[in-house]
Structure 1
């Protein structure tokens, strides 16, 4: 019997390996990413992959420490869909971060919506500042875009 990894396992493996190409098999083409530091979401697999590549640089000592599965509703719709949550810890500019990756899945098992939540507030602010710098350096923004 072949065991197919679930979406959380595939997403986790892609993040831990820092393998952006692996996200092609995990993220839906029209995936929506709700950032903890930007009001409007990022949309589309290629854009989300670019943002995740910068997150992987900004987070230091990143590690997953737990996993939960169940169901939940997406931000734009009231329908209940399969959902998985990955719990992580990291540091940003020397500040400890505790967070979660919430994955809402489509019928095809791909991540249709990714929401990241972080705590404490000082770490969220450090993440915002670090991501602004990274986005400007990567040419994705000319000034502060994460407010």
Structure 2
């Protein structure tokens, strides 16, 4: 397993929710495939990472690529026995906290399950995703 270099990736590699939240700015913007609108704020992040902690197997950090104030974090996990590869695109603020986070999942079977399971939790909290029937 690769070791994370940023505080966020180190927290993600152990899936320590408190440490993940501590690495985020108070007004962090999060973009996920299962919700059309960007989400913002630490309270929202707390909810989202709580759901992820509940539903996903522990993360295995594969690689972290850092360039200036951005990084790409590759990880592996599974959801209900379906293997998933994930990618986080992270933008850091000058104080080192995560200001923006975009989350991707693959393969398609895993993304569909993420949409069903994680998306279901998000729809309960934030309302249904527009355009999906």
Aligned to 1:54: 51
Aligned to 2:125: 140
TM-score, normalised to structure 1, is 0.74
Aligned to 1:41: 38
* 2:98 corresponds to which of 111, 115, 120: 111
Structure whose alpha-carbon radius of gyration is higher: 1
* 1:100 corresponds to which of 52, 74, 87: 87
Q: Which runs of 5+ in 1 are unaligned?
A: 1-6, 72-81
TM-score, normalised to structure 2, is 0.81
Aligned length: 128
Aligned to 2:71: 84
Q: Which runs of 5+ in 2 are unaligned?
A: none
CA contact (8 A) 1:105 1:112 kept: yes
Provide the aligned C-alpha RMSD in A. Answer: 2.4
